[in-house]
Homo-oligomer: A and B are copies of this chain.
Amino acid sequence: MNTERIFINQLLPGQTLDQVFLVRDKDLRTTKAGGLYLMCTLADRTGTIPARMWQVSESIHNGIAVEGFLHVKGRVEDYKGSLQFIIDACRPFPADKVDLGDFLAVTKYDVEKMWAELLEILRDVKDAHLRMLLKKFTEDVAMVTAYKRAPAAMTMHHPYIGGLLEHTLNMARAAKALLPLYPQLNGDLVLMGIFLHDIGKTAELSSGTSLGYTDSGQLVGHITIAAIWVAQRAAEISAQTGQPFPARTVDLLNHIILSHHGTLEFGSPKLPMIPEAFFVHYLDDMDAKIWMTTNAIDNDPDTNATFTPYLKQIEARVYKKSREL
């Protein structure tokens, strides 16, 4: 294998490679002469490149898994003005041996620092029952691991490893800054609502080698998943302490989770009915929209244009020159 990984956006014609890629799709085709060859798309976190392998057997084709990893040897070529990769040899590569960060986009912030800061802010939660609930979640190692990895969404905003944590932390910071201005709000509910509002996404979005929805995510949805988890953990606490966990506390927390999309049309089965639910909803939407617009500005390849292309989520194009007057 190459001593150091060469990313797809660094490839040049003539290079030879000996390293692992993610396979996005594959196709077995017939040459005019009647032989078989393989067409596939190789990917890493910086992009994709079409690849071709001549004179393959059906069994080689069958052995390659779409969305799986493939160790390839071969060379980069220029084909009709674009690059393609000619595979000389290949074999499947186990997923648990790759560095996923090479293949998936990741947050640019330090995950452990973000997690620590989030926990620090959550230390402001005073209510004893909410604190027990918080502990239930933060001491669940599998849950925490998934929380740190999950994206905030598939494509809408923060769609990368650590995105859920980054987005949640943004909201927690904003809540911490604004709560002193709105003393009539129950800060405990707000902070717990922020922490848990999208936690169902750890189950809704698959944790594999690419971002995608799980069957459970599609059939049930992250909102209901989160509400079920809150109810179950409250029941566990009650079973452990021998004390009833206040139903009203569960109901209020679940209300914030259920209503955080703000409207029924966006999949919330309940409209906000308490000031805290509105507060969480707006902080959520605001952080998402700022990400979307900032990201569209920063990643528009057409640097001459004053507007980005149309963004379906906001039903508009983004004007790119508001930062400076």
**Min C-beta distance of A277 to chain B, whole Å:** 8
Please report the C-alpha to C-alpha distance between residue A138 and residue B51 in the assembled complex, in whole angstroms: 59
Contact B254 A219 (CB under 8 A): yes
Contact with B along A46-80 (1 / 0, CB 8 A): 00000000000000000000000000000000101
Contact with B along A75-102 (1 / 0, CB 8 A): 0001011000000000000000000000
Cβ-based interface call for A247 (8 A) = yes
Cβ-based interface call for A121 (8 A) = no
Chain B residues with CB below 8 A from A107, complex form: none
Cβ-based interface call for A146 (8 A) = no
Cβ-based interface call for A116 (8 A) = no
**B228, B265, B290, B325: which contacts A279 (Cβ < 8 A)?**
B290
Contact B215 A220 (CB under 8 A): no
Please report the C-alpha to C-alpha distance between residue A185 and residue B286 in the assembled complex, in whole angstroms: 12
Cβ-based interface call for A316 (8 A) = yes
Among A184-233, those with CB < 8 Å from B are 184-186, 188-189, 215-216, 218-221, 223-224, 227-228, 231-232
Contact A325 B130 (CB under 8 A): yes
Chain B residues with CB below 8 A from A218, complex form: 273, 307, 317, 319
Chain B residues with CB below 8 A from A244, complex form: none
Contact B289 A278 (CB under 8 A): yes
Contact A220 B174 (CB under 8 A): no
Chain B residues with CB below 8 A from A316, complex form: 271-273
Cβ-based interface call for A251 (8 A) = yes
Contact with B along A272-288 (1 / 0, CB 8 A): 11111011001001100
Chain B: CB-nearest residue to A249: B325
**Min C-beta distance of A110 to chain B, whole Å:** 17
9-residue interface stretch from A1-9, A16-24, A153-161, A175-183: A175-183
Chain B: CB-nearest residue to A308: B273
**B181, B216, B258: which contacts A221 (Cβ < 8 A)?**
B258
Contact B322 A275 (CB under 8 A): yes
Would you mind naming 14 contact pairs between A and B with Cβ atoms under 8 Å apart? A185-B323, A188-B325, A216-B248, A216-B251, A218-B319, A221-B258, A228-B228, A264-B264, A265-B265, A271-B315, A273-B318, A274-B318, A275-B322, A282-B286
